[in-house]
Chains A and B, each alone.
Chain A
Amino acid sequence: AQKVTQAQTEISVVEKEDVTLDCVYETRDTTYYLFWYKQPPSGELVFLIRRNSFDEQNEISGRYSWNFQKSTSSFNFTITASQVVDSAVYFCALIQGQNAGNMLTFGGGTRLMVKP
């Protein structure tokens, strides 16, 4: 069985602050994929990143960066210099195995509020 835990239910920051969203996962499979999605108030899920279990390289995309550590089963997401438009619910998710047709397990989500 797989499980994704996002311990932070809500985070509030002031614009331009850096913020890290935590994600801890559990899986018995050695092959798996981790994802982050953003859900703005409109409701539509926006894909942010996919990382496979064999690639522990950290990734940076603009103000976004991801830290994948298999040793601690964590896949944390950092937003640098946060902006009001970053306000949304962020979900970490896991697919066990390597087939996109496998079940995607979501964490509980972290609601990020960026205040001007």
Chain B
Amino acid sequence: GAVVSQHPSWVICKSGTSVKIECRSLDFQATTMFWYRQFPKQSLMLMATSNEGSKATYEQGVEKDKFLINHASLTLSTLTVTSAHPEDSSFYICSAARTGTVTDTQYFGPGTRLTVL
């Protein structure tokens, strides 16, 4: 159990277009989901915390108008990179914390590799 999926696994887009990435918890409900960005040979950097039914909390330096997060249900959160530019090319990873547990682990999706041309 505790599987998190991401779609798409990779995407290539032109500069100026928007890209939507989905994160789903397949066999559990997740009140809280997290979005991370990872540049080559670097660690994961938290972008935002997403709670079901409320606005996401963004980390300092992350543009909320550029990275739109929607957590419309207990099993789905989406990250939309609006007007993507080459510097947004990165590996985006989501994680989900299982609802109703106090001490459970966050479960990670397989990541989405975004390349902006």
State the CA gap A101–B113 with chains docked (Å).
25
B60 at the interface (CB under 8 A from A): no
Q: Are B108 and A44 in contact (CB under 8 A)?
A: yes
Contact A100 B44 (CB under 8 A): no
* Size of interface on A: residues with Cβ below 8 Å to B: 24
Q: Which residues of A contact B105 (CB under 8 A)?
A: 35, 47, 50, 100
Asked if A100 meets B110 with Cβ closer than 8 Å, knowing A91-B44, A107-B43, A109-B43, the reply is no
Complex Cα–Cα for A109 and B95 (A): 18
B100: shortest Cβ distance to chain A, in Å? 10
Also in contact, A33 and B103, with CB within 8 A (given A43-B110, A43-B111, A44-B110):
yes
Say yes or no: is B46 at the interface (Cβ < 8 Å to chain A).
yes
- Assuming the contacts A45-B93, A108-B43, asked whether A100 and B111 have C-beta atoms less than 8 A apart, the reply is no
Q: In the assembly, what is the distance between CA of A2 and CA of B3, in Å?
A: 27
- CB-CB under 8 A from A91, the residues of chain B are 43-44
- Inter-chain CA distance A110–B98, complex, in Å, is 28
> Given that A35-B105, A100-B103, A101-B32 are contacting pairs, would A44 and B111 also be in contact in the complex, using a CB cutoff of 8 Å?
yes
* Interface of chain B, main secondary structure: strand
B74 contacts chain A at the CB level, 8 A cutoff: no
Tell me the complex Cα distance, A33–B98, Å.
16
The answer to whether B43 touches A99 (Cβ under 8 A) is no
Minimal beta-carbon separation of B47 from chain A (angstroms):
11
Q: Can you give 13 A-B contacts (C-beta < 8 A)?
A: A43-B111, A43-B113, A44-B109, A47-B108, A98-B102, A98-B103, A100-B97, A100-B102, A100-B106, A101-B32, A107-B43, A109-B42, A111-B41
What's the Cα separation between A47 and B3 when bound, in Å? 12
| Residues 62 to 112 of chain A near chain B (Cβ within 8 Å) | 91, 95, 98-101, 103-109, 111
Contacts of A111 in B (CB 8 A): 41
Contact between A106 and B43 (Cβ–Cβ < 8 Å)? yes
Q: Are B91 and A43 within 8 A (Cβ)?
A: yes
